[in-house]
Structures are given as C-alpha cells and as structure tokens.
Structure 1
C-alpha cells in the first residue's frame, strides 16, 4: 500500500504543529506591580482539599497572593479549618461575621485584594479565599499606590467554578473544613528525562532509516549506470516515488500555512473540532504504524513482503501489509475510543512516534539552503505565536491551543506526552510534533550526506547535529523550570543549536557551498572511464 498520500495529508496538519514545551495552566502575568516588603511572595499553586464531617469530598486548586503569610508545603502540617461566607460577600467593608479563626470566602471586585485581606484579618479570619469572576486563576498583587502592606493571614484565589462548588457544599452541609497548603514541585521530573530520550531516539531512528533508504537508492542507481542501460533514462530513480523533497517556496509558505492552521485551531477550538483532529490523527497514526511495522517485519518475512495481491481502490498490496493493517487500524481505533483513560498517553505516543518516523522517511530536505529557510521560518513562527500573539489576542495563542481551552479535552493530540511522575500537581510534560519533525529533517539530511560522502561519525555532521538537538531540547527544559513552568517555544532554543552547528561546521570544513546547493557529494559516473594521461 502506498502510504505517501495519506501521510502527506497528515503532514499538513502534524508538521505545522510545534507546541510550547510544558504548557499547562497559565495564570496572568505580573509585569506592572512592583515588589515591596510585605508584598514580595512568590506565586505558588495552592491545594484546597475540602472536608465534610471529616471526610474529603473535593479538592480545588488556587494560587497564592504576593502578600500574606506563606503556606505550609506538606499536607500533614496544614490544619483543617472551618470555612464561612463573608458578609458582605465582597469583603470591602467591615464584616458582620463574628469569626473565631475561620477561613472566609469572599468574591472578587469592588475593592483591591489587600483591602479584602485586611478586612478579613480584622474580623478574626485565619485565611481568605477570593473567588475569581472568571474560570481561570489570576495573580493577586498589591496596588502600585500602596506603601505599607502588613497582612498576617494567607490569601488564595480560586477560579469561579471552584467557588461555586465550594458554596454548594457549604449550603448542603454545616460542618465544612478546608486545608491550605502548597506542595513544592521537584526541580526536574523524571518525565522530562524520558520525554527527552523519546524525542532524541525518534530522530535517531528516523535518520538512520532515511539514510539507509538514500544509500540503497544510490547503490541501485550506480548499478544501472554501470550497465549503461537506456532503461535508466526513462525511469525514475529507485525510491523516488516515495520521497517528497521540500522546495524553497514550500519552506517559505510554511509560516503562512502554519499560522492559518493555528488560528483555525484557536478560533474553532471546541469538543467537536477536537474530535475531528482525533480522527485525522488516528488515520495518520495507523498509516505510520503500518509503514514502520512492514519495514521492520520485512526482514523476517521477505516472501510475504514481496508477494502482492490486487485490492480494489488500493492497487497492488503486499501480503505482509494486509496482515499488519488490521492490527494498526484496531490499535488506532482503541486509542481514539479510550483516549481519556489515565494510560492512553502510551497509545498516543506510539502512534505519534510511528508517524514522525515515517514522515521523516518520506519528507526530505534536499540541501542546507532549504533547511535553513525552513528552520528560520519555524523559529520566528514559534516565537510569534507563543509570545508576540499576546499583544493582539490578549493571550498566547499557541499555549491556549496546546491546553485545549474550551474543548473539554486535555489538549490536541498532535504531541508526545508523559505524565509527571513525582510532581504533586500532576499534569504532563509535552512536546509538539513540529519540535521533533522540523529539526529532525535537518538531522536526517546530515546523516544522508555523511553516508553518501562516506564520512566517519566524528568527521561527519550527523553526530554533531544530534548532540546539538539534544542540547537545544535540554536547554528548553532548563528554561521551562527557570520560567516557573510557563510554556516555552522549544524551537527558540533548538533551531540556533542545530542550524548554527551545521553552518559553522560546513564553513570550517570548506563544504558549505556543496551543502548549501547540491546537498550531496559529487559522485563520478561509473560508466565513464578516466582518459589515460598522455606520455
């Protein structure tokens, strides 16, 4: 079965997607309000487990304020405290409640956060939960005009839906208590290590497959040329029908097409649209898995891979492909149906890796010029839609799409993800397909060039390109941790490492012109014999 058409269609959706590494729940930035004594806390996520008659019934997540006392980091050290509703609800004036150490619930609006906290503390509250007027979290800061801030109780904001749920619990029960604590996140989670290995390993495997195919095609071409057969002139090079070279024009159009695709995701993000993407991903994943399995099993089942049968609408299909296809289809369908279960990420990663490997085998960068244009466009595309898009859309378009806001899902399926194993807040470490495919095209090109020019590992470009990609991805995760978990555009770090290394080595070795234009070493024609030197 020729998988190129289906995979190229999947590529139109999948190649263009480069999600910010580690994108998760994002709270508003605090760029204006200055820090000062009494208002210099770090923003931390806060767990708010809720108990009725001593039994936990719900757990909410909030964000701590710049002001107030810091919270305990361990659940065992946090006290269970009774909660009460503020009267008045906005807590902008003296409270009518007679409090004896309760945590008080107030609503955002009418006055500053510090005014609410001071009023709650004066009434005898031991903490304040401020309910936001939107379904997201907001970083609470001090007003610019405030000078002295001395608040001695913790202040936590909860999203609107959490506030409603908490209020419903209180209406139906009389003995409701909460705990407030902020578990610390590990500096490095094992999930990030495995995700790094997964991305690097995927590029490694696909590069060797691509280089092996190119070498086999070159050997076959040389054989035809040695025979001096005229048949060669009327046929395509072996393997060329299954390979698509990216042109300079298509590399430039990448930014336009990718941006349109991203805006479409942003505007149409909903449950039904995610379902469409899931179907497309499942089709592409099944095709990719089938291609990989057939290529792998053909070594042991050579006869089945070389014997064919005609199938309506599909043409000649090998017996091995017919045997493998049902398994791949069932695998993709089972993943799509059960994608919301806790371990579904395994199936998503298997389908995603198979698709990426197959795409990197089919789609190729013909020379360094095209690779430079493609990665440069991707570099600016990633930066623009993660950072600059906030100026026009008032939020990071790529992060919103990566989170799958308004979709009822945990995000779009075009990414690899691993659950954070030792993070008390859970969640996933993720990387978009584009962050692997786009630099992977250049890395695969480097190995093809090395093999065709018969360079050893150290004297070639592949080893250094792989090291550069690994370092670039590693720096991405370092930046992610330094930026307090906010999503980072991975190509911002990967592209300078990989492309810069390639260009520098090519210039130093005097091969930049050949890499830039031809993309492969010159090979003498086998049927042309050198003329003897006259005596």
Structure 2
C-alpha cells in the first residue's frame, strides 16, 4: 500500500522535471545555435571583399530570430554573396545558393518567409537590403521562426544598393558577418569633453588672450571701436564672422601694424589687406570642408569651424546678470528635455537628436554639433555634443568671468573657476548617463544647467552675494571698483 501511494508522486515529479528540462534545453545548450525569439537587436559588422580587395565594412542589425552571430572575427566564415531570384526572396522557386550568403530586398512578404526560402536553398545566411532609409528591426512574426537555422541580418539602403550594383555587374562579392561587442566606455569621449570645456574657457578668456575687448562690443554693434593707434577707421569694412574675426583679432593683438594697409574693392569698399587675406583663407577652408563633408575626416573641419563660431558668439552675446541667465537656462533646460525624451512619443523620433546630427531625408542640412570619432568602437560612429550644450552654459560662464573682473575676484574666491568645474562635471554626468542608458541620446542641459547655474546660485547664497549677481548691471563696459563687502569671498 505504501508503494502504491508513492508511485504516482514519483511519476509526477519525474514528469515535471522532464517538462522543465524540455523548456530550458535551448538555454542550457549555450552553443549560440538557439532559434528562440530574442528581445534585442544587436549590431552586426559585415566585412566586404570585391574581386578579392577588401572594402569599407558595412553595418546592420541582427534579427530577433535565428542563431546568434559569432562575436569574434576568427569565428566567422567568409562566403560569396548572391541575390535570390526573385530579388524579394518570397517565392519558393527562388534560386539555390548552397554555401553562400543570400541577398534579398525588403517587401512583398514577412522576414521569416524570406529566411525560410533562403534556408531551403542551402544559404548559410540571409542579408536583407532595406528599400527605405534607416534599419528596420526584424522581429518574430510567428511561431515558424523556430524553424530558422540561418543567420538573418538587415543592412541600410545605400550599403545594399552598392552590393546589388556590384553583383549585377558580374563582380565577385564576398562577405563575412559577425557581431563584436561594443566597449562599455569609449575613451575618445575624453577628447570631446576637452574640446567642449576648452571652447568655453577659450571663449571666456578670449578678450584676455588678444589683450583687449575692443574688437567685440558688448552692445548690439558688431563693428570694432576706433583703434588705439588713433587711425580713423571710418569707411573700412569690418568682418565679424567666427573664424575670420578670431584669427584677425589674434594677429592684431600681436602687432597692430599688420592691420594698417587698406585696399578699395568694387562694391565692397575699403578693407584692410590683412582682413582680405584672412577672409580668403577662411573661405577656402570652408569650401574644402563643404566639398569633403561626407568623408571620414570631415569632422576635423566641422569642429574647427564650430569652435571658432562659438567663440565669436560668446564674445558678442553677453548676459547682464543671472536673472536673465536663470530665465534663459531654465527655458533651455525644459526645451532640451522635451525634444529629446518626449518628442519620440509625438513624432516617432527624437527631434533634437535628428536635428543635431543633421538628419534630413529630404536633402542636405548642417549638423549643429561637435563630434569626435569613437576610436575603440568596432562599429565606428562619433561621440557628439550640440552647439547649444556649449553656448547656453557658456553664456553664464563668460558672465561669471566678467563679474569676477568687475569686482576684483580671482581663483577660488571668484565664480569663473567654480563654474568651469561645474560645466566639466555636468558633461561628465551627461556621458555617464549616456553609457548607463545604453547609448540613448541624452539632453545634456539636464545635467549642465544644475551644475552651472546651480553652482552659481549656491555660491552666491553662501557668500551673501546673490542679490548682487541677480541685479548686476548690463556690463556696458564700466567696471565697478571692488568694495570691502564683495571682495572677501571666504
């Protein structure tokens, strides 16, 4: 009787154990051959050879079904690539491509149907070419995805059309597909941090560097004052473009004699020879950048032009006090958060990220950002920061420097040094959050505004100078002598 009671219990436990083993078998296998549906779409790197010559690699997305791609280059296999017939890969009568990588165009049927057709033809992998901009994520359409045993990826329209043209022209194309892991932190972000902080510091100290503030009026007038040499500048054209004005003011700070000789040009009128020469150099630089803007090295010219432009803007646009700074930065704070985090729910994309990168499917647009290549990322790409993330906090930093000079402050007793530290810290927190959130675009002002404006307000409260900062004059060039009540900041 005792045995009869125990037998059903033992059978139940055995059946339950077997059932869980069956469920866990794909996970327990651990050999990368699981065909279960995954939730992620890892990046894929595709090395390409055309007639035996290695070309620039392509990049794509792995499908949520099929086996997992190898992470190491040595584990991947170099195979010939050919198009299925028909090119959409939806028909069971498609051509057989044993031991090769099948290429198909997006459309006419779901992803798993294309994968099964390629698999039945003996293909080792399937590369789907997107017919629209962007990279679609190939999710699991139905339970039949469990029967797919080949690697399935998608590549962009431009990369795929280049492949199609080469194969159509009878050129041999070979591909090697693998999915290397990205580093947790790309060390090149340090260089972008240095560029951003350096731009703010340079713009703030530019008047000290060139030895005079006369080239930049704090008012709305963009022309310089009469020169210290006493020469009459009436009728002479003064150009205040970013790169041109920075170079010209730096040269003139070394020797005023360079800017004395003038020449009269048709339509333009009188202009100094030095200004004309610098203008020609700047125009040539800008034209060369525009002609090579799609090259891999174009970021250098873009950053140089952007840095000069921001130095010029931060010299011309000046905040009178932190009352204006608070209104401006708080509005920018909310604006940045909305267009980065909330706009995807309305426009199906982060508008701020798209604008900053210069994305525009309808044509050309100017990317409003500094960028630096990701040196340790196998998928390349760039670390980026928008101009607004430098200009808005930079306005407050430049104000703090002028405030320190007007009240005889310097070093740790002033505000400039602490705001630079705050700006650098804000950028650090921005990049930290970027990596913690798996590369999702971050509104930098979310971190920069508290670290700069917050630092200024807290220091003002601690030093009992907040009223002075809040109601400071328009800084029209008249500096106030330091008083005993404001010179002691400890």
Q: Which interval holds the TM-score relative to the shorter structure?
A: 0.7 to 0.9
Does the 8 A contact of 2:215 with 2:249 survive in 1?
no
Number of aligned pairs? 426
> 1:64, CA displacement in angstroms?
1.2
Q: Does 1:502 align with 2:456?
A: yes
> 1:99, CA displacement in angstroms?
4.8
Q: Does 1:196 align with 2:193?
A: yes
RMSD: 3.9
* 2:280 alignment partner in structure 1: 329
* 1:516 alignment partner in structure 2: 470
* 2:226 alignment partner in structure 1: none
Does the 8 A contact of 2:406 with 2:481 survive in 1?
no
What aligned pairs does 1:126-525 form with structure 2 within 5 A after superposition? 126-143=124-141, 146=143, 149=146, 151-173=148-170, 176-209=173-206, 242-244=217-219, 287-302=241-256, 322-339=273-290, 340=292, 342-401=296-355, 402-406=357-361, 412=366, 414-518=368-472, 523=480
What aligned pairs does 1:30-69 form with structure 2 within 5 A after superposition? 38-40=36-38, 42-56=40-54, 59-69=57-67
**Residue of structure 1 aligned with 2:79, choices 81, 88, 93:** 81
Change (3 A) 1:452 1:427: same
TM-score (norm 2): 0.73
Q: For the residues of structure 1 that align with 2:353 and 2:191, how far apart are their CA atoms?
A: 22
* 1:14 alignment partner in structure 2: none
Query: How big is each residue's C-alpha offset from its partner over 1:141-183, in whole Å with a ceiling of 9 and x where there is no partner?
Result: 224x659846432210123344343333333338543211234
Change (3 A) 1:344 1:367: same
Q: For the residues of structure 1 that align with 2:145 and 2:106, how far apart are their CA atoms?
A: 22
Does the 8 A contact of 1:82 with 1:176 survive in 2?
yes
Does the 8 A contact of 1:210 with 1:448 survive in 2?
no
SS of equivalent residue, structure 1 residue 83: strand
Query: How big is each residue's C-alpha offset from its partner over 1:383-427, in whole Å with a ceiling of 9 and x where there is no partner?
Result: 333343334433333333323433766x51543333333433333
5+ unaligned residues in a row in structure 1: which ranges?
Answer: 1-35, 218-238, 246-283, 527-535
SS of equivalent residue, structure 1 residue 435: helix
* 2:227 alignment partner in structure 1: none
> 1:197, CA displacement in angstroms?
0.7
TM-score (norm 1): 0.68
Q: For the residues of structure 2 that align with 1:285 and 1:492, how far apart are their CA atoms?
A: 36
Q: For the residues of structure 2 that align with 1:417 and 1:174, how far apart are their CA atoms?
A: 36
Change (3 A) 1:150 1:478: farther
SS of equivalent residue, structure 1 residue 464: helix
SS of equivalent residue, structure 2 residue 177: coil
SS of equivalent residue, structure 1 residue 179: strand
Q: For the residues of structure 2 that align with 1:121 and 1:522, how far apart are their CA atoms?
A: 78
> 1:332, CA displacement in angstroms?
3.0
> 1:241, CA displacement in angstroms?
8.1
Change (3 A) 1:88 1:330: closer
* 1:253 alignment partner in structure 2: none
Higher relative contact order (CA 8 A, sep 6+): 1
Q: For the residues of structure 1 that align with 2:96 and 2:169, how far apart are their CA atoms?
A: 21
Larger Rg: 2
Q: For the residues of structure 1 that align with 2:178 and 2:73, how far apart are their CA atoms?
A: 6
Does the 8 A contact of 1:382 with 1:491 survive in 2?
yes
> 1:330, CA displacement in angstroms?
1.8
> 1:352, CA displacement in angstroms?
2.5
Change (3 A) 1:322 1:82: closer
> 1:367, CA displacement in angstroms?
0.8
Query: How big is each residue's C-alpha offset from its partner over 1:59-118, in whole Å with a ceiling of 9 and x where there is no partner?
Result: 433211222222234444421223343456555565654453332223334544344434
Change (3 A) 1:106 1:420: same
Change (3 A) 1:110 1:295: closer
Change (3 A) 1:310 1:515: farther
Change (3 A) 1:146 1:514: farther
> 1:502, CA displacement in angstroms?
1.9
* 1:21 alignment partner in structure 2: none
Query: How big is each residue's C-alpha offset from its partner over 1:267-300, in whole Å with a ceiling of 9 and x where there is no partner?
Result: xxxxxxxxxxxxxxxxx99733343334433443
Q: For the residues of structure 1 that align with 2:329 and 2:239, how far apart are their CA atoms?
A: 24
Change (3 A) 1:524 1:106: closer
SS of equivalent residue, structure 2 residue 241: helix
> 1:492, CA displacement in angstroms?
2.6
Does the 8 A contact of 2:371 with 2:384 survive in 1?
yes
Query: How big is each residue's C-alpha offset from its partner over 1:233-269, in whole Å with a ceiling of 9 and x where there is no partner?
Result: xxxxxx6981138xxxxxxxxxxxxxxxxxxxxxxxx
SS of equivalent residue, structure 2 residue 411: coil
* 1:223 alignment partner in structure 2: none
Does the 8 A contact of 2:184 with 2:435 survive in 1?
yes
SS of equivalent residue, structure 1 residue 458: helix
> 1:460, CA displacement in angstroms?
2.4
Does the 8 A contact of 2:115 with 2:148 survive in 1?
yes
> 1:374, CA displacement in angstroms?
0.8
